[in-house]
Structure 1
Amino acid sequence: MDSGVIEEEFVNRTHLPHTLDAGIAARARLGLIVLATDQTIEHEWRLIMTGLDGVALYESRIWNDAKITPETLRAMEARIADCAAVIMPGLPLQVVAFGCTSAAMVIGEEGVFAKIREARPEAKGTTPVTAAFAAFRAFGAQRIAVLTPYRDDVNRAVRRYIEARDFAVPVFGSFNEEDDLRAARIDVASIRDAAVELGRDPRVDAVFVSCTSLRVAEVAREIEAALGKPVTSSNHAMAWHSLRLAGIDDRLPRWGRLFELPLSSHQR
């Protein structure tokens, strides 16, 4: 029976002409290892990097315990290489950033970098504390007010680590939240007010907010305006450091003083 459907000739065109460009990572391809519990770092990095044509961000997640203790932080060391390996395999990365401030101090920056190099020998490595030290030097700051969400034993380790690198910490403050899932919910106003309170101490040159869970990027300029002093945080400093390590020197004053500064040539 005639269905009334007119069959048309099927056309299958293969090997259509095309050209290749450099893709969305024409200037830099950045890798970021994010804590499994982290709610903040990707949000802040994407805000900062929006509008940077040719800069692409790729992430993987690393398992961590939500309870922040020296033991749970140290346990991440064995997982770093595998997490770096799954970020865009087969394509070179300019930078791999490890997104945990306190773990980088407990493991040690060189320990983190060694694990990154196992998987991505072509990439430069950074951590939040590595980036913070680079930021302090760019600011010309020596005496740092530090704000964290951590409990006391982690705080003591943070202060020792910073002071061992020839920076002074005359003022230290903490929200004492050992649960990373709660730390991410500390509101921006609380962070801003605490940073301003600590930074007002006349003995300090700059403020550092430690922890990738804490939201600072959108109020960095506001805090700086209140203090007349530079401010940075784990996410803020590491985004800047990753860009500068990758050769991206764009000035981004919206995000505060740091994003108007270069990285010195000996730090690249």
Structure 2
Amino acid sequence: MVQHRVGLIVPSSNVTVETELPALLRRQPGTEFTFHASRMRMTAVTPAGLAAMNVQRERCVIEVADTGPDVILYACLVALMAGEAGEHHRVEALIAEQLATGESRSLVRSSAGALVEAVKVLGAKRIAVVTPYLNPLAEKVVRYLEHEGVEVADFRALGVEDNREVACIPGDRVIGAARSLDLTGVDALVLSACVQMPSLDLIQQVEHEFGLPVLSAATAGAFSILRSLGIPSNIAGAGSLLASGDRHYTSAELESAR
């Protein structure tokens, strides 16, 4: 069985991405994954807190690169989407450049880029989004997605500033936010635009309820990791994005989605 190493760069207070991402990728048949994380100090999901966290990126890249990962995921979506338009392209390129100077061949992905990629691969032009953030940050996420050519028809911001509390948001609150959205003409629902807000156990249920593709930052991250490694996703019970079976996407398709 083929084994792959996944490097994660995560906020220090994040506990969900290291739960949901392994749970997803370990359902992928025929492949084993190990996970190796480095942490950036952050507890408050505010512009100041995110800026202070982002300056720790280079140290974390060096640390996680020492494990020899096949792919590295910069796992904080809002840290990039709260920045300038197209920030995930810039940060992924900077990480790749830093890795190259150390002769590392690790592939680079980000949660922000993975969500954009997944929405576009689904062919979704108009989406709805649930976020845990304060409203000003949620609005930045919406503007970021719209700059990437994705219309956000409606969104909900749950208004949680403490990143530790984001991990404790109950599922019924997430589903309630989703049910309050106007889904008229929507092609897909992003149930959690945050790798810290738990939603994995809800995705299949909500997809069945609403009859449209449902994804999250975690499922998008898993999808992007698999595709970067050339592995067709075949993960059951986590939404239609990851249940695409033997569908192979060309490198041109994936690059255009990013």
Give the TM-score category using the shorter length: 0.7 to 0.9
| Paired position in structure 2 for 1:196 | 179
Displacement of 1:27: 4.2
Q: How high is the TM-score relative to the length of structure 2?
A: 0.86
The Cα offsets for residues 170-199 of structure 1, whole Å up to 9 and x where unpaired, read as 10101101111111110112212322332x
Unaligned runs of 5+ in 2: none
Determine the C-alpha separation between the residues in 1 that align with 2:95 and 2:60: 9
* Residue 97 (structure 1) aligned with residue 80 (structure 2): no
Determine the C-alpha separation between the residues in 2 that align with 1:144 and 1:250: 22
Q: How high is the TM-score relative to the length of structure 1?
A: 0.83
Determine the C-alpha separation between the residues in 2 that align with 1:178 and 1:245: 32
Q: Which moved more, 1:255-264 or 1:180-189?
A: 255-264
* Residue 48 (structure 1) aligned with residue 30 (structure 2): no
Identical-pair percentage? 26
| Paired position in structure 1 for 2:99 | 120
The answer (yes or no) to whether the contact 2:9–2:60 under 8 Å persists in 1 is: yes
The answer (yes or no) to whether the contact 1:134–1:263 under 8 Å persists in 2 is: no
SS of corresponding position for 1:249: coil
Looking at CA atoms only, which structure, 1 or 2, has the larger radius of gyration? 1
Displacement of 1:236: 1.6
Displacement of 1:156: 1.8
SS of corresponding position for 1:253: coil
Displacement of 1:264: 2.9
Give the AA of the match of 1:161.
Answer: Y
Determine the C-alpha separation between the residues in 2 that align with 1:248 and 1:120: 23
Displacement of 1:90: 6.2
The answer (yes or no) to whether the contact 2:203–2:238 under 8 Å persists in 1 is: yes
* Residue 109 (structure 1) aligned with residue 88 (structure 2): yes
| Paired position in structure 1 for 2:155 | 172
Determine the C-alpha separation between the residues in 2 that align with 1:203 and 1:90: 45
| Paired position in structure 1 for 2:249 | 264
The answer (yes or no) to whether the contact 1:230–1:258 under 8 Å persists in 2 is: yes
SS of corresponding position for 1:85: helix
| Paired position in structure 1 for 2:189 | 207
The answer (yes or no) to whether the contact 1:96–1:124 under 8 Å persists in 2 is: yes
The answer (yes or no) to whether the contact 1:144–1:206 under 8 Å persists in 2 is: yes
- Alignment RMSD: 2.0
| Paired position in structure 2 for 1:86 | 63
Query: Matched residue pairs, number?
Result: 242
